[in-house]
Chain A
Amino acid sequence: MIKRQNIFFDNSLDFNVKGGGIIEHDTKILTLFLNGTRNSNSLCLIGERLEWIPWIWMEFEKEKLEKLNEINIVCLIGDLTEFFRRCQKKFINVKINYYQYNLYQQIDFIKNSLINKTSLPAQCERKNNIYSSIGTMRLNRYILIKESLEKGYDFYYPAISYNISKYYEYQIGQCLGTTMQSPNRFEARRIFKNNMQQPEFNKKQIQFLSDSYINFVTTIPNTDWLKDQEDEKYFDSILCKTVPFMLCEKNSNSTGPELLGFLPYIGFDLKSDSIDNPVLRWKSLLEDNEHIFKDKERVKELYDKNRHVIDHNYNRLVNTDWEAERLAQFDRLPTFIKENLNSLK
């Protein structure tokens, strides 16, 4: 009997590096379940660049991977076709299969946004050019906060300690190949005075999103292998008919999450959207579009150019039977994958 093994890249995955890895010696068919918001599936600074932990793991286990008959890649959020192609090139004698089931996880983000539809204001009066509110600090968000302080943008964020600042400044210096800038301590700047859980916050901030033309979307920075892993920050922008500006993966502004049927927004200067180095990409995108963010006329012009995209994306979000689409994706999966996914629920 052919031995099958499943690996779920979740928060509890132990790679057992000292014990020689996790792929069992007699495994012939390996199925990898990947999404984009877990510790075992995140980015890590290696030398002067950010690397994706699952790819580091594949390098570690490459001798065992090369001996497999088959590798199944199950994508549970976004689009991992680039990763699939990379695996095909690396393991030329192994049959590599790719299964797309991005709605497995993304439907939760979509549903969470749709809950807030009832909070939309009856009439919008967009008073602010740009908006951003950050909860958990991450590298792309830290870069955005520093830019906002330098340029005087009216953003909201948590307190940043000296050590956290040092951690991010080190990563930025390494990725840019420059001297590390002095860390700093930043006081929190919050929209609401009271502490609240995320669902309540997301509901309350609808008013602020609806008051603004552009919202900065800084999804968990992942890798250029994983694309279109948009979460509620992006879907909330669509719901509020606010234009999202993405500091995420490569080309995330240029292409948009087409897999989900959304159109990319136009009018931004996106010459830096395809830069491989994520830190340089995020910093350059902010710099290239500063002239838009600061100028109300330019912002309004950009917004008007996007009216058809705004309407298309809004209609797609609110009028789609997402549960039916998720079920259709699920039905297309092979039985052994369905069974494993059902056991997770």
Chain B
Amino acid sequence: MKTVLPETYIKYGYKMFDCSLEEIRQYIDNCYALKKSPNPSEKFNYVTFADVETAVKKINSIFIPAEHGDLPKVQWSLQESAQLLIKEIWFYTYKDPQLYQSAVERAWALGGHLDLRTEQHYYD
């Protein structure tokens, strides 16, 4: 049985703006035209997720290669009236965090690791 390494623990949070992809694209384009940093929370509310499974599906995390997204042990939960999806991860080896992070960065390089409407929260 594999054992997780407690010191590799990382926590992420995700909220999602309650709008269509077209609406958020339009909002970002407008901000760019006005030379303004986008802050979608000033315009859109957050989605209240029905359950964890739906939330995970909605944020639609992409990893390249996909299998590196499965390297950690993952625990999902919902907080803040089901508007904040929490992802807690632990790795089994010391090289896995780098592989996982690189798989995230490759997805960003091709245009996105998460649904465009997702706001990521960090807990360093």
Give the B-binding residues of A (Cβ under 8 A): 14-18, 44-48, 51, 53, 56-57, 59-60, 62
Contacts and interface: CB of A to CB of B under 8 A. Distances in A.
Nearest to B108: A44
B62 A18 contact: yes
B64 interface: yes
Interface stretch (B28-36, B45-53, B99-107): B99-107
B64 A59 contact: yes
B115 A56 contact: no
Interface string B29-72: 00000000000000000000000000000001010110000000
B106 A56 contact: yes
Contacts of B111: 14-18
Q: Which 9 A-B pairs have the closest CB atoms?
A: A47-B102, A44-B109, A15-B110, A60-B64, A46-B105, A56-B106, A17-B110, A17-B111, A46-B102
Contacts of B115: 18
Nearest to B64: A60
B62 A17 contact: yes
Contact of B107 (A17, A47, A48, A62): A17
Given A17-B112, A46-B102, A46-B106, A59 B62 contact: no
Interface in B81-124: 98, 101-102, 105-107, 109-112, 115-116
Contacts of A45: 105
Contact of B106 (A14, A16, A48, A59): A59
A15 B109 CA distance: 10
Contact of B60 (A18, A48, A53, A60): A18
Contacts of B101: 47
Nearest to B65: A59
Given A44-B109, A56-B106, A60-B64, 7 more contacts: A15-B111, A17-B107, A44-B105, A45-B105, A47-B101, A56-B109, A62-B65
